[in-house]
Structure 1
């Protein structure tokens, strides 16, 4: 028995991903996501001369690297988890389950959409920074290639865990609490700033999260070498960061399909109806 995905399913997933992207980013709600990117660009401009950390590196570089790192995490984890939860309650997953290879195609479409969901909201800031603040962008072709590798690996690493959250929590209120916890973990994991000056127990705790390694990887590409002085051990450890992220990706890709299959088996008309009645009664 072959486990290969039929070509027709791949084409259908690609078509679904294209339709999803066009609808999402041609609507007013979709276009509004660039507002945050523009606000970040304005902040970077006003802080272009400020310095941060023991190495006195420009604060704009730290802000921009944290923005890119969390953009990857937000799109791949929070975005995917929220969509899966909503689709479970509105019957989308039930309809996909009823079609041959429907769940496979539906999830493949999400995998294709996730990198664009991470990139498009950040694109105005990337273009603006490249024009007005070139010091916070990669300085050569190798830097751009490394940034692309870190970006894609970050999406691949976090996407399965977004699917895990979406399959584990059965209500939007439960998922909302999980998302709040994710924001707290991001703040304590060195996504936005280095944690080299923290007490040793907090440093070890931060390194247990893949979010920390995404932040380190992005900073190692965007910031000058002297910024490593503020990191744990006084170095960026880019190779180690990539290996750790790869390990988290492998584990996630093993765990997520199991939970998603269990979630799909539990989908039925009665569960969708119960979810609708709960939303009408409680508002969530």
Structure 2
């Protein structure tokens, strides 16, 4: 086994191990709280019908939530993890080991993918029984959902890594991801049809992956008649994969350069400064 293959295998094992550790951590309370909030929204939307269709608003929202969760997981997860690992010295140790950065990146991708998948299952399973109309998606619909979710994750993962590489603290990572995401989600047709918002906001929403992942998940799980609530009355499958593909390709071209530059600049002195700043925040 050559060194690259060995580093890749270690990264897979590390990602799986860290995912298992998160299942028993207090972080899962956040997942529970978010799930309860989502289910509460679906409960109140279950009797409202989307204009131009026979579907309930909840049936439109649940697939959109799945898409939104993928975008959040791909962006927020790597950004926060990378910022924390720079602060606690994990990244510096990985840099000191031959092919350590490769193993580290593979581990981050595996853990983020598993964390995101777990959060999707936690939301979707109870939501599926709460919301009427999704069972008709059938095997083909759920099979189509897989490449949509993979495309959404690939479109956001590298940008999460970029943000985690340039911010100076975990708090900065959260600020640079969560704060911009909230208004983007608000205009991306997640909790109500995007056709109901002004045209200029529709244009802005279509520039970001959140809208397109949500569109893809809706097209996978909803009947064709639900496309009446979409822009142009169509699922726009080619455009969806095209935009997500552009975000993914550009991200994977930019992210390695940013990561290498950040890794070269890492030093024990920088890590100690970040550690002391973290201690000061804790004392404050």
How high is the TM-score relative to the length of structure 1? 0.90
C-alpha RMSD of matched pairs (Å):
2.2
Task: Go from structure 1 to structure 2 and tell me whether the alpha carbon gap of 1:137 and 1:264 turns closer, same or farther (over 3 Å shift).
Answer: farther
Q: Does 2:85 match 1:87?
A: yes
- Alignment-derived partner of residue 163 in structure 1: 161
How high is the TM-score relative to the length of structure 2? 0.90
Q: Does 2:179 match 1:212?
A: no
The CA distance in 2 between the partners of 1:71 and 1:177, in whole Å, is 18
The CA distance in 2 between the partners of 1:137 and 1:95, in whole Å, is 48
SS class of match (1:11)? helix
The CA distance in 1 between the partners of 2:170 and 2:107, in whole Å, is 22
Contact 2:71 2:153 in 1 (8 A): yes
The CA distance in 2 between the partners of 1:208 and 1:109, in whole Å, is 30
The CA distance in 2 between the partners of 1:188 and 1:227, in whole Å, is 19
Task: Go from structure 1 to structure 2 and tell me whether the alpha carbon gap of 1:203 and 1:38 turns closer, same or farther (over 3 Å shift).
Answer: closer
Describe the superposition over 1:116-173 as per-residue Cα deviations: whole angstroms up to 9, x where unpaired: 1111122133222444545235621110111111111111111001101111212334
- Alignment-derived partner of residue 238 in structure 1: 237
Task: Go from structure 1 to structure 2 and tell me whether the alpha carbon gap of 1:252 and 1:177 turns closer, same or farther (over 3 Å shift).
Answer: same
The structure 1 residue matched to 2:137, chosen from 136, 139, 150, is 139
Mean Cα displacement is larger for which, 78-87 or 135-144?
135-144
Uncovered stretches (5+) of structure 1, i.e. residues with no partner: none
Count the aligned residue pairs.
281
Contact 2:206 2:212 in 1 (8 A): yes
- Alignment-derived partner of residue 276 in structure 2: 277
Contact 1:25 1:31 in 2 (8 A): no
Contact 1:196 1:234 in 2 (8 A): no
4+ residue segments displaced more than 4 Å: none
The CA distance in 2 between the partners of 1:132 and 1:195, in whole Å, is 23
Uncovered stretches (5+) of structure 2, i.e. residues with no partner: none
Mean Cα displacement is larger for which, 100-109 or 27-36?
27-36
* Aligned-pair CA distance for 1:5: 7.1
Q: Does 2:250 match 1:251?
A: yes
SS class of match (1:15)? helix
